[in-house]
């Protein structure tokens, strides 16, 4: 079977990427592709435990930026070896809600860790597994803040430690994503996440359709 294809979705909080992951998966499956949908951190039994520790645990308030970086990439290392590599090798299209660009933006720029150190840790976690295509959705800061507030109001018993950061943190994250897309314009395609869901969906398809090889079909 021919090799598959690996697409990652990135963006700031409330950009709508998780919705777009599901819409793209549905569209690809309707065309006969075999699609695997994943999320980070998480995606494996080990990764989901790490996700809880990073985001939702009542005992994670004292977590340092360095511990956060290592835990993120521990989850990623497991996901790459347990699921992503085998799925792509078997001809599947893998859609992942966040991948290592998030670490560069959030832990590198947001937490202000040394970027070379961040890159070194990422390299250990992913090896030569890199996305074929990355879709970066962004929304203005005020829209992101509004959508985060709405989301938190609907999940009163599930705090998200990452979303508790201040505005300056998220401004640094946004600058990080700007630097990332500038550095790799061939892999990363930026989209306006503040447009309607339908408009963003069609823009994504305009990018994805010509990039896909004929893979993952029975």
| Structural domain count, the chain | 1
> Residue 140: which pLDDT band, with cuts at 50, 70 and 90?
confident
Domain that holds residue 36: 5-211
- The dihedral through the CA atoms of 211, 205, 217, 16 has a sign that is positive
pLDDT higher than threshold 50 for residue 36: yes
CA distance 144 to 138: 9
Q: Could you tell me the two tokens for 182?
A: 């500038």
pTM for this model (two decimals): 0.91
pLDDT, residue 92, reads 97
* Mean pLDDT confidence for 14-37: 95
In a domain, 203, yes or no: yes
Going by the DSSP 8-state scheme, the letter that residue 166 receives in this structure is -
pLDDT higher than threshold 80 for residue 197: yes
Selection from 203, 202, 176, 172 nearest residue 189 by Cα: 203
* Mean pLDDT confidence for 96-118: 98
In a domain, 218, yes or no: no
In a domain, 217, yes or no: no
* Mean pLDDT confidence for 167-177: 95
In a domain, 181, yes or no: yes
Whichever domain contains 154, its CATH number is 3.40.50.300
Average pLDDT, the chain: 92
Query: Each residue of 150-162: pLDDT tens digit?
Result: 666 665 556 788 8
In a domain, 187, yes or no: yes
Query: Each residue of 42-78: pLDDT tens digit?
Result: 999 999 999 999 999 999 999 999 999 999 999 999 9
In a domain, 216, yes or no: no
Cα angle 165-170-171, degrees, rounded to a multiple of 5: 140
- The dihedral through the CA atoms of 216, 5, 128, 68 has a sign that is negative
* Mean pLDDT confidence for 87-101: 97
By percentage, how much of the chain surpasses pLDDT 70?
Answer: 91
> Residue 2: which pLDDT band, with cuts at 50, 70 and 90?
low
Q: Which helix (H) or strand (E) segment is 189 a member of?
A: strand 188-192
Residue 27 class from Cβ within 10 Å (0-12 exposed, 13-18 middle, 19+ buried)? middle
């Amino acid at each position: 079977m021919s090799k598959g294809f690996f697409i990652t979705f990135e963006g700031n909080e409330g950009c709508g990427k998780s919705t777009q992951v599901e819409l793209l998966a549905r569209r690809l499956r309707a065309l006969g592709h075999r699609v695997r949908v994943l999320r980070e951190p998480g995606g494996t039994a080990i990764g989901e435990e790490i996700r809880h520790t990073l985001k939702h645990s009542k005992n994670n308030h004292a977590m340092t930026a360095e511990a956060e970086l290592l835990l993120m990439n521990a989850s990623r290392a497991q996901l790459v070896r347990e699921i992503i590599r085998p799925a792509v090798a078997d001809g599947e299209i893998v859609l992942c809600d966040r991948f290592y660009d998030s670490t560069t933006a959030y832990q590198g720029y947001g937490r202000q860790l040394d970027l070379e150190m961040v890159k070194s840790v990422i390299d250990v976690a992913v090896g030569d597994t890199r996305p074929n295509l990355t879709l970066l959705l962004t929304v203005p800061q005020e829209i992101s803040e509004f959508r985060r507030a709405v989301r938190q109001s609907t999940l009163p018993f599930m705090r998200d430690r990452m979303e508790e950061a201040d505005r300056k943190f998220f401004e640094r994250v946004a600058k990080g994503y700007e630097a990332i897309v500038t550095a790799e314009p061939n892999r990363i395609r930026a989209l306006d996440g503040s447009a309607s869901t339908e408009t963003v969906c069609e823009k994504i398809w305009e990018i994805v359709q010509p990039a896909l090889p004929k893979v993952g079909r029975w």
